[in-house]
């Protein structure tokens, strides 16, 4: 398992067990958000990740690496655990597993989520991109088409942007089972991600780019 993949799995676990689960039990929502350096809750409790640090109410509590998810949550005054009964997939980690986060890999993931958030806000002004704990990707749904950025998964092991229409499309642009995807190595900044989303939007609605 590469450093990026191991870090991604651990951050996914933190998002799911330390942020989304406690937030769901206290505030009734699993929606998370991208923030500079990482991601955060949208409701109470106020918990965030910045690089390889856990924060509550903007105050650093300590490094993520080397402790269990349960210990991380306890340091924040909450109990670790995924949202129950909402989805079947997830990070695959348990509260007693240990967190392994490489600072450089964490910043690669944070940049992907941040650039994705900015591109999505440009694509869909007025909509708020959501970082979902199930797949650990940030996205919006606009006119029955999903747009988002993933830090990597079983489909593509590196950060990528995607366009997923509700109905399958054909053609060279549509290169993956759920629609179209491009690694962020091909889309190195917010403008390029936005242009990919915009082309996907037009193609999904039958418009020539």
The whole-angstrom distance between residue 201's C-alpha and the CA centroid of its chain comes to: 21
Domain-ending residue, one of 71, 103, 135: 103
Q: Are 95 and 73 in contact (CB under 8 A)?
A: yes
Domain-ending residue, one of 79, 103, 127: 103
Q: Indicate whether 171 and 96 sit together in one domain.
A: no
Q: Indicate whether 45 and 124 sit together in one domain.
A: no
Q: Indicate whether 59 and 90 sit together in one domain.
A: yes
d(CA 65, CA 192): 33
pLDDT of residue 207: 79
pLDDT of residue 199: 98
Which portions of the chain are predicted below pLDDT 70? 209
Q: Indicate whether 115 and 200 sit together in one domain.
A: yes
Q: Indicate whether 27 and 54 sit together in one domain.
A: yes
Q: Indicate whether 93 and 112 sit together in one domain.
A: no
pLDDT of residue 9: 98
**Which range marks the domain in which residue 8 is found?**
3-103
Q: Indicate whether 113 and 95 sit together in one domain.
A: no
Domain count across the chain: 2
Q: Indicate whether 141 and 199 sit together in one domain.
A: yes
CA angle 70, 82, 79 (to 5 degrees): 35
Residue closest to 53 by CA, chosen among 2, 1, 117, 110: 110
A 10 A CB-CB count for 120 gives 27
- Report if residue 185 sits inside a domain: yes
- Report if residue 130 sits inside a domain: yes
- Report if residue 138 sits inside a domain: yes
Torsion of CA 112, 118, 122, 128, to 10 degrees: 100
d(CA 46, CA 178): 34
Question: DSSP labels for 105-165?
Answer: HHHHHHHHHHHHHHHHHHHSTT---EEETTTTEEEEEETTEEEEEES--SS-SS-EEEEEE
Any residues with CB less than 8 A from the CB of 201 and at least 6 apart, and which? 123, 142, 143, 145, 147, 163
- Report if residue 209 sits inside a domain: no
| Residue 82, preceding peptide bond in cis (omega within 30° of 0) | no
pLDDT digits (tens, 9 = 90+) for 19-71: 999 999 999 999 999 999 999 999 999 999 999 999 999 999 999 999 999 99
Domain-ending residue, one of 103, 119, 140: 103
Q: Indicate whether 97 and 111 sit together in one domain.
A: no
Q: Indicate whether 43 and 114 sit together in one domain.
A: no
- Report if residue 167 sits inside a domain: yes
- Report if residue 132 sits inside a domain: yes
Q: Indicate whether 79 and 165 sit together in one domain.
A: no
Q: Indicate whether 80 and 132 sit together in one domain.
A: no
pTM: 0.96
Any residues with CB less than 8 A from the CB of 11 and at least 6 apart, and which? 38, 39, 49, 64, 101, 106, 109, 136, 151
């Amino acid at each position: 398992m590469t450093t990026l993949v191991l870090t991604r799995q651990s951050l996914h676990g933190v998002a799911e067990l330390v942020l989304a689960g406690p937030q769901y039990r206290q505030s009734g929502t699993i929606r998370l958000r991208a923030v500079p350096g990482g991601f955060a809750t949208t409701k109470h409790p106020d918990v965030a990740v910045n690089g390889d640090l856990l924060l509550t109410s903007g105050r650093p509590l300590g490094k993520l690496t080397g402790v269990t998810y349960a210990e991380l949550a306890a340091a924040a005054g909450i109990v670790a655990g995924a949202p129950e009964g909402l989805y079947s997939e997830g990070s695959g980690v348990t509260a007693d597993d240990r967190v392994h986060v490489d600072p450089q890999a964490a910043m690669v993931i944070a940049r992907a989520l941040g650039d994705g958030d900015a591109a999505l806000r440009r694509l869909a002004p007025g909509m708020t991109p959501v970082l979902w704990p199930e797949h650990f990707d940030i996205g919006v749904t606009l006119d029955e088409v999903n747009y988002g950025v993933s830090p990597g998964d079983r489909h593509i092991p590196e950060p990528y942007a995607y366009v997923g229409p509700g109905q399958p499309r054909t053609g060279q642009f549509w290169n993956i089972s759920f629609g179209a995807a491009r690694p962020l190595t091909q889309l190195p900044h917010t403008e390029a991600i936005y242009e990919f989303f915009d082309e996907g939007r037009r193609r999904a609605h039958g418009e020539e780019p």
